[in-house]
Amino acid sequence: MVTRGTAQVGAPARLRVRHSGNHDPVRVGPDPFADPWRRRSRQSRVHRGSARSRRVSARPPDCDGTDGRKCAHRRADWRHPAGPDSTLKGLAKHPVVHVAYQDAKAYANWAGKELPTEAEWEFAARGGLEGAEFTWGDEFAPDGEFMANTWQGDFPSENLLEDGFEGTAPVGSFPANGYGLYDMAGNVWEWTTDWYQQHNEITRSCCGSLNPRGGDREKSFDPSVPDVLIPRKVMKGGSFLCAPNYCRRYRPAARMAQPIDTSTCHLGFRCVVRVSDEAQKD
Ligand SMILES: [Ca+2]
Ligand SMILES: [Ca+2]
């Protein structure tokens, strides 16, 4: 359970990273909600940099998902994430991938749940740490311990695999954040319900910085391809393709636009259940 509260989201000036999808700091106060990925009794398996690291050279997809075609195997879908001949065997504990926005929304509806807004997602990702760069604090790998499934090495030509995973990792492979939530940073990006727009371009009411919502659908189109009018939603959290030399989008302040009709191998979702104040007291 993540209880109602306020927190600063976005990146303050000292933590802003060029070309990394920062947004300006605002305070948010989301509705309380519950997350099914919240920590239960099992212990997380922690990965450390070690001799088992191996070096892999590859030509991977673009970290920011703007070239999803490289990441999306031909005719892949969530049941066949690496193409028609692939299966989900061995992936039961991995996050689902190759889900377009409507796929994620349909699943949430079927399960009696919802997808989070960007503000809810980032509030939860921060785990109660005010102004920290990462979901666990300000040091990327405290005492050499990797806290999320990201990319180590010189992206995109070299993946050192120091965190133990080349692609997705089973949920729970890295420590939970302060709210007991796994993989809020890295592993796979996650859909939110907000239309993408630069935050400083979103018209707000006097109180709009409290629990802000996204921009306008018609303003979420990609201005670099004016002939393609596919609206885009905000995705959050970064993925196993995010590297320190490239985009560092495993920070909670980072955000990216994703066309709603496009699935990739590094984008999934999580559901939330919003509960009333009365229910929290029970
Ligand atoms: Ca990794
Ligand atoms: Ca994630």
pLDDT tens digit sequence for 67-126: 444 455 788 999 999 999 999 999 999 999 999 999 999 999 999 999 999 999 999 999
Across the beta sheet with 232-236, what order do the strands follow? 255-259, 232-236, 189-195, 267-268
186 alpha carbon – ligand 1 mean position (Å)? 9
212 alpha carbon – ligand 2 mean position (Å)? 21
Tokens of 120: 């809810």
Neighbours of 226 (CB within 10 A): 8
49 alpha carbon – ligand 1 mean position (Å)? 11
CATH fit for domain 1-282, picks 3.90.1580.10, 3.40.50.620, 3.30.56.10, 3.40.50.2300: 3.90.1580.10
Taking residues 35-58, what's their average pLDDT?
40
Q: Any idea which ligand is nearest the CA of 186? A: 2
Q: Any idea which ligand is nearest the CA of 96? A: 2
pLDDT tens digit sequence for 193-243: 999 998 777 666 555 566 667 889 999 999 999 999 999 999 999 999 999
Return the pLDDT at 208.
52
Q: Are 37 and 279 in contact (CB under 8 A)?
A: no
Q: Any idea which ligand is nearest the CA of 125? A: 2
**What are the backbone angles phi and psi of residue 118, rounded to the nearest 5°?**
-60, -40
Return the pLDDT at 54.
42
**What are the backbone angles phi and psi of residue 144, rounded to the nearest 5°?**
80, 5
Residue 156, preceding peptide bond in cis (omega within 30° of 0): yes
Domain residue limits, the chain: 1-282
Q: Are 16 and 255 in contact (CB under 8 A)?
A: no
Q: Any idea which ligand is nearest the CA of 187? A: 2
Instruction: State the pTM of this model.
Output: 0.81
Tokens of 71: 């990441």
pLDDT tens digit sequence for 161-170: 999 999 999 9
Nearest to 52 by CA among 165, 153, 140: 165
Nearest to 237 by CA among 224, 246, 249, 223: 249
The answer, yes or no, to whether residue 252 has pLDDT greater than 90, is: yes
What is the SS3 assignment for 233?
strand
Return the pLDDT at 43.
35
90 alpha carbon – ligand 1 mean position (Å)? 17
Neighbours of 58 (CB within 10 A): 12
150 alpha carbon – ligand 2 mean position (Å)? 10
